[in-house]
Amino acid sequence: MNKNKLTSQEENFSDWYNQVIQRAELADYAPVRGCMVVRPYGWAIWENIQSALDKRFKDTGHVNAAFPLFIPMSFLEKEKEHIEGFSPELAVVTIGGGEVLEEPLVVRPTSETIIGHMYAKWIKSYRDLPVLINQWANVVRWEMRTRLFLRTLEFYWQEGHTAHATAEEGQIETLKMLDVYTDFAVNVAAVPVIPGLKSQSEKFAGAVQSYTIEAMMGDTKALQSGTTHNLGQNFAKAFDIQYLDQNNELLYCWTTSWGLSTRFIGAVIMTHGDDQGLVLPPRLAPIQVVIVPIFRTDEEQSAVMETTKKVEQLLSGIRIKIDDRTEMTPGFKFNDWELRGVPLRIEIGPKDVEKNAVMISRRDIPGREGKSSISIDSLENRIPKILDEIHDNLLAKATKFRIDNTHDPKDYAELKGLINSGWAFSYWCGDANCEAKIKEDTKATIRCIPLDQGETNGKCIYCGNSAKEKAYFARAY
């Protein structure tokens, strides 16, 4: 067995995932159990995620701020459902500066409570509303079973927190941000997510309703890739977030929260990756095009490098890396950049220079089919279009994979038989007991109740009673 060869996805998807992350230098295990070190290449992906989302947030009227990492324990205890939901995951500081603290401090698992406290100070009148704030931060949740990017004790994310004058405005905000996440996932990451409502048993602790974007990974498991929450007046009442309306009546605000984390990097890896390693969507890739100059003699080197610099200048609006390492063979470089998932490779050798052309190799199309020769004179126009074609192809492949592995079972026995290798899209009566029994029998949960329902009358896949909505059932990360 070749020790340098990745474990195949079919052989062991989990091992493949861990190997890809470490060999492509996205992240490594930290000395603290359950924590990770995000390496520069992995952080560059996160920076591109941040950039794409931050623009969308600001385009919809949101602004950034920063709130403390430490939260008084009493803040979490103010909202009963919230503390019950998070208490098993809390990291608590009891000593500071060598002294026992008067009140324990929780290391931020999420910020609804401390932000609620501040909003109560800042909001006095209807003129102060809406408040639309986002923060980029790290959070800590004491997970027992961890996996790089997908579930770690400490991770990075953004969390939006808004306050509104009416219930309608709060709901509009919740769905608007769900649309923002969907747009980002599809049009930047080429991940075909399904937006939908969470069941009451799966919703965020303290929310009235939670919404999610769900994606199918390469092993057919589901991954919750971003969530938005309509908090109603639960946190407003717990923290006295009130305002005087136009009639001088004191009313409670309606609040929301929403977040997407470094877990999304895991979604990109498992949606697009193959047995050669990462396959990064061009709009997120830290390096969109790698140029590999190929030469043997000093004379060839001079001509090839001159052409390489010319190509780099022609593609000035694209994220480019020139791999001019002389101690590595071209074959090694090809494999290295395939492992790292660079969307497009440009090879320039002496014969290419003579032809005033380059050889390109697409990461999304393996082998000879993905290779072609392109005139240097057409590169400036062709390469951006090819990168768009790669994005569209990755999205189409991932969408087809999800459709091919999503089933509408005729009965519960069929659902139980297929849930290990795909999703079930089935009618559900809305009874939490049916949901719990399905989970007990299959380890599958309701991933979401899609907003686009189509037909609305059927029979519950478990109990056979009348049902007005369908839900996606799947095993999940």
**What integer pLDDT is reported at residue 82 of this predicted model?**
77
How much of the chain exceeds pLDDT 70, in percent? Answer: 99
Chain centroid to CA 139: 16
Single-letter residue type at 419: I
Percent of the chain residues past pLDDT 90, beyond the cut: 94
Cβ distance 338 to 363 under 8 Å?
yes
In this prediction, residue 2 carries a pLDDT of 54
The alpha carbon of residue 205 and the mean position of all alpha carbons in its chain are separated, in whole angstroms, by 21
332-370 pLDDT per residue, tens: 999 999 999 999 999 999 999 999 999 999 999 988 999
Right CATH for 289-385 from 3.40.50.2300, 1.10.10.10, 3.40.50.800, 3.40.50.300: 3.40.50.800
pLDDT averaged over the chain?
A: 96
What number of other Cβ atoms are within 10 A of residue 146's Cβ?
Answer: 17
Higher pLDDT, 6 or 77: 6
Tens of pLDDT, residue by residue over 71-120, are: 999 998 888 777 777 888 999 999 999 999 999 999 999 999 999 999 99
DSSP secondary structure letters along 113-134:
HHHHHHHHHH--BGGG--EEEE
- Give the model's pLDDT for residue 200: 96
In the predicted model, what is the mean pLDDT of residues 390-416?
Answer: 98
Helix (H), strand (E), coil (C) string for 38-87: ECHHHHHHHHHHHHHHHHHHHHCCCEECCCCCEEEHHHHHCCHHHHHHHH
Average pLDDT over residues 28-52: 97
Q: What is the pLDDT of residue 24?
A: 98
Q: Which CATH number fits domain 406-474: 3.30.70.330, 3.30.110.30, 3.90.1010.10, 3.30.70.360?
A: 3.30.110.30
pLDDT for 402 beyond 90: yes
Please determine, for residue 201, whether its predicted confidence score (pLDDT) is greater than 50: yes
At 1 the pLDDT is 44
What is the average pLDDT across 186-205? Answer: 97
Boundaries of every domain in the chain: 13-272, 289-385, 406-474
3-state secondary structure of 237: helix
DSSP symbols for 296-333? SSHHHHHHHHHHHHHHHHHTTTS-EEE---SSS-HHHH
CA proximity to 447, closest of 269, 195, 192: 195
287 contact partners, CB below 8 Å, separation of at least 6: 319, 320, 321, 337, 340, 342
pTM of the complete model beyond 0.75 = yes
Query: Does position 398 have pLDDT exceeding 80, yes or no?
Result: yes
Per-residue model confidence (pLDDT) at position 3? 63
pLDDT in tens, 220-230: 999 999 999 99
Q: Mean pLDDT across the stretch 408-422? A: 96
CATH topology of domain 13-272: BirA Bifunctional Protein; domain 2 (3.30.930)
Give yes or no for residue 468 having a pLDDT over 90.
yes
